[in-house]
Amino acid sequence: MAFLSRLWTLEPMLVALCSRLRWLPPTLARLTLGWVFLLSGWGKLHHLDDVIGFFASLGIPAPQLQAPFASGVEFVCGLLLLLGLFSRPASVPLVVVMIVAIATARREELTSLGDLFGFIEYLYIVLLSYVALEGPGPLSLDALLRGRRAAIAPAHRAATAGA
């Protein structure tokens, strides 16, 4: 019982520490996703013939158009996530790419909900959804630009109010 009592006395310090580290999860999620998709897109863009052949083998329509498009989406949106620029909108096309990947390339392996939860693509969807809903965190270009916009807006309103 003394152990539990001591543990409860630590709770305020733990809560304070967690509050100071709230920037960490969105930053790590965004950087990890950005890096993964940037490298994946880069690799696919440099081996488009192989990717087109793979897309064709999956029965994806117009693989000669879809492969460079999906590869480009991964590369560009991965770069945007890595920079933390337009992170929320950049997450959406990547979710779509991952849904298509599950529905095509992983379809045969998907026999239960448990299988879905084990797919890395599903984990990417969860993390991308987190970034899309919660934002990229304070260590991002989005946050920097939002801060500048907030600083500019009052000055702009004051200048136009007198005009």
Q: What is the pLDDT of residues 36-62, one digit of tens each?
A: 999 999 999 999 999 999 999 999 999
Which residue type does 3 have?
F
pLDDT in tens, 88-106: 999 999 999 999 999 999 9
DSSP per residue, 26-44: HHHHHHHHHHHHHHHHHHH
Q: Where are the beta strands (DSSP E) in 94-145?
A: none
Question: Is the per-residue pLDDT at 161 higher than 80?
Answer: no
Q: Are 124 and 36 in contact (CB under 8 A)?
A: yes
